Structure 1
């Protein structure tokens, strides 16, 4: 029987910690780690649907979902995060679980998918990158933002654009502006983990159409009727079925 456990204070990079929720069943030796997108959290729609799919179909996977950032002591806040910090933190999460599990799978969405692709961990058996955000310099360059300075002199960017978070740090902005399609292509070419890329009919897909996914370790699957969050009729179920067929 499946049960959920809250895991607290898993140590990641920069002496920060993360909390998460582990769906587990006795004797399972395979784990799926869910990675949310920018501004998301461990309880986002796709993570919960992944958990429910495993339970409803009684699959032999444990599922771990977590927050890359959290406003709490000893946790990395969103205003202290970058893609680079997420890459390092995901690597630490994988290290933590690799001691127990024979197989680790990644289910990553949007910026989380970029994070997993760049990490390219040799401890991962297979990964599914769901509508990944591979092109990030263009959205950052086009976003309308203003600089805010707090009482301690720290600079932050404020934006009302729906393509970027409301409040984000200067390091993240500069990282995004410098993250060219060439850089993403290099990371795609270097992927050596068996990888399924599921692309939706979204702005993220349109931006990434110029990229080459001919890497022999990558399989692509395009869903014309799906949006970025897979909220359109039955698109989530179709996507999950495809992912778990690939994992098996």
Structure 2
């Protein structure tokens, strides 16, 4: 009976499971509904367990992506940047549909921690006398994160893992959407990916600590007849 009170987490041998493939037909389907269906599969909504460090080996195959439909019409504009002067390009939904139809589905499925989106810019110092600072939406890290040590440690974790000297650079972060917890996770993901752009040798170490993987879990919706997502009203026999 003691085991019933413990939360079950599959061990690492669970990652030896067979690959599972799902086929989704995009013909005459809207982008939003396709993205929702793919996200539910990749998140693991159809699985009985979820563990971040276990590779569940779930794959999705998309067919007829060139026949996908945008519910808002053809007003959608996609941007891409080669990170070179004049490298910002934009193209309409129809143009991307003719060139790379699969890219439309990829953009729709990708996201950030809950509803938070963070953009991180690392500015290197020219001399050794500056002290590294992290500015989040024009405020210091401690002030913006309400002096919460849990959220502050999340921000500095990627630097500690790769032994990066933060005093040699300043970080300018723009984050919006979600709450403080979701924004902290989004900033940490942005910092980890930015460090990989600076030095590719950081990538294996950050990936080993699961800092390059987006946490796609979100709050489960409330169901009718229940008080919350799974909480049922109190039962009275008589």
Considering the TM-score relative to the shorter chain, is it more than 0.5? no
Q: Normalising by structure 1, what TM-score?
A: 0.29
- Whichever structure has more strand as a proportion of its residues is 1
Q: Which structure has the larger Rg over C-alpha atoms?
A: 2
